[in-house]
Amino acid sequence: ASASAAAPHAAYADQVHRAAQQSYSRKDDHVRLANSQHEAENRNSFDDVRFIHNSFPDIAVTDIDLHTDVLGARWELPFYINAMTGGSKQTGVLNASLAEAANATGISIASGSQHAALRDSSLTPTFATLREHTRGFLIANVGPSVTAAQAQQAVEMIDADALQVHVNAAQEIVMPEGDRDFRDWKASIDAIAETVQVPVIVKEVGFGMSQATIRYLYTTKAAAIDVSGKGGTDFITIENQRRKRSEFSYMTGWGESTVLSLMNVATVDNDIFGQNRPTQEGAERHCSKPQVIASGGVRTPLDVAIALSMGAQAVGVSGHFLHTLIASGTEGLIAEIERWKQQLGSIMTLLGARSLTELSRTDLVITGETAQEAEVLGIS
Ligand code: FNR
């Protein structure tokens, strides 16, 4: 009897072990394939936007204040390291380096999905290392397939200040072992936002947000949304490369660009709040409105400035910083972040914008594919 009872258990243990191994190597695959996408940065929607030049900035570099207020906290810098990794030995090492760079430069950082550690606690150190290496603002990360209790557990695992809930249907569909049923996502996000003891950010993973998505999220308890648009790391390509046969090549390019997503936010804001360009003051006035964070294809400090000017309260960077870390080590990443800090200040000086509020009042011209799409969608 004991042998027959043991057999299914052994089979189950074997299955869990195989799934775990699959999951570890998936994290390593993601890093390797994402890194290769950033060896040369591609054209994207930020190239369709430019600032109007003014010959008289009237201010000095020393006037610039880069701080932003995100989820009730003061961030000294408006860009941060967005969600990436953890869940394998190799990615735990990367997390330690990313957090070290965040701490050294004073920027915030988000964890990669913590599902692997929620399933297998032996992987917890690959995420907990984030808090061990930074005293700064740290964001936990789960998907809507976890329970509210697990979401709270993810927050506690890394002593996080906020929680990202990633909505990644486009990735799951192409991922060989991905989810195929998304019926409970809305209810799950409600339950998570009601339960966890930190503010919740609902984020995309590089496919952007339509007006319908944004309008829906404005009705939820999400404290912030990260539109994370297409134009940078492309998870359809990554998951397709992980399939035995690359059946989904034709899906490359799916989603809304980051710039169009920010235009979608402005349109929804205008419809709901009657203002075209939400400023920091505007965001504070309408305190029920989730804050807006931008990410997806951010390659330079100029891309950061554009996203901030279009109303983002903060700007997330994943692929570019991952590639910098892999190519140049922790010191190289710290130097890059310091360069971005200086250069964002230089760009704001040139624009005569002392603060993010002033930056959100600068004039932009939008052309190319982004302008065409906006016109078709009736966005002005
Ligand atoms: C990601 N991203 C991500 N997002 C998330 O919410 N949870 C996750 O676990 C991951 N994992 C992950 C791994 C790697 C290697 C990368 C590069 C990215 C998505 C990320 O946060 C972001 O939304 C997109 O990558 C788009 O931004 P970039 O890479 O174009 O700056």
pLDDT value of residue 4? 40
Q: Calculate the alpha carbon distances from 61 to 66, 316, 343 in Å.
A: 11, 24, 10
pLDDT value of residue 311? 97
Tokens 């799934």 label which residue? 19
d(CA 211, CA 219): 13
d(CA 65, CA 354): 6
Q: Determine the atom of ligand 1 nearest the C-alpha atom of 30.
A: 15
Tokens 């010191």 label which residue? 331
pLDDT value of residue 5? 42
d(CA 112, ligand 1 centre) in Å? 7
> Does ligand 1 have an atom closer than 6 angstroms to the CB of 296?
yes
d(CA 180, ligand 1 centre) in Å? 20
Helix axes 301-309, 258-273, angle to 10 degrees: 20
pLDDT value of residue 221? 97
d(CA 318, ligand 1 centre) in Å? 6
Could you tell me what percentage of the chain is helix, strand and coil, using 3-state DSSP and rounding each to the nearest 5? Answer: 50, 10, 35
Which residue's alpha carbon is at the smallest distance from atom 5 of ligand 1?
Answer: 83
d(CA 59, ligand 1 centre) in Å? 36
> Does ligand 1 have an atom closer than 6 angstroms to the CB of 298?
yes
Which residue's alpha carbon is at the smallest distance from atom 29 of ligand 1?
Answer: 319
The H or E element containing residue 301 is helix 301-309
- Residues of the chain with pLDDT below 50 are 1-8, 12-13, 15-16, 19-20, 276-278, 282-287
Q: Determine the atom of ligand 1 nearest the C-alpha atom of 232.
A: 30
User: Among the residues of 158-226, which ranges form H helices?
Assistant: 169-174, 185-195, 211-217
pLDDT tens readout for residues 282-335: 444 444 699 999 999 999 999 999 999 999 999 999 999 999 999 999 999 999
Burial (Cβ within 10 Å: 0-12, 13-18, ≥19) of residue 380: exposed
Which amino acid would we find at residue 257? S
Using DSSP bridges, classify how beta strands 200-203 and 224-226 pair: parallel, antiparallel or unpaired: parallel
pLDDT value of residue 136? 98
Tokens 């996408």 label which residue? 37
pLDDT value of residue 279? 53
pLDDT value of residue 21? 57
> Does ligand 1 have an atom closer than 6 angstroms to the CB of 227?
no
Polymer length of the chain: 380
